[in-house]
């Protein structure tokens, strides 16, 4: 998969747990886990925006094309 999800890296930099991010973003832990492991087929712009707001980062900090 040429798109790499760096959600775990940003969470570690912000010292935020999956539970805490789930609460802030408003999506389930299981859906965040699917995204974090790179198994997600798609992500809504609204969800990406909420994650970026919670982690105080840019979309390019989470998504990387190789």
Instruction: Tell me, letter by letter, the H, E, C secondary structure of 35-64.
Output: HHCCCCCCCCHHHHHHHHHHHCCCHHHHEE
| The pLDDT of residue 26 | 94
**What pTM did the predictor assign?**
0.90
Which are the contacts of 40, defined by CB distance < 8 A and separation ≥ 6?
A: 5, 31, 34
Domain extents in the chain: 3-56
pLDDT digits (tens, 9 = 90+) for 1-58: 689 999 999 999 999 999 999 999 999 999 999 999 989 999 999 999 999 999 999 9
> Distance between CA 30 and CA 25 in Å, rounded?
13
What span, in angstroms and rounded, lies between the C-alpha atoms of 21 and 49? 13
Tokens 């969800």 correspond to 47
CATH architecture observed for domain 3-56: Orthogonal Bundle (1.10)
């Amino acid at each position: 998969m040429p798109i790499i999800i760096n959600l775990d890296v940003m969470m570690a930099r912000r010292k935020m747990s999956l539970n805490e991010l789930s609460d802030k973003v408003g999506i389930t832990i299981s859906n965040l886990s699917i995204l974090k492991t790179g198994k997600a087929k798609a992500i809504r712009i609204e969800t990406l925006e909420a994650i970026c707001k919670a982690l105080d980062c840019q979309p390019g900090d989470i998504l990387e094309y190789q």
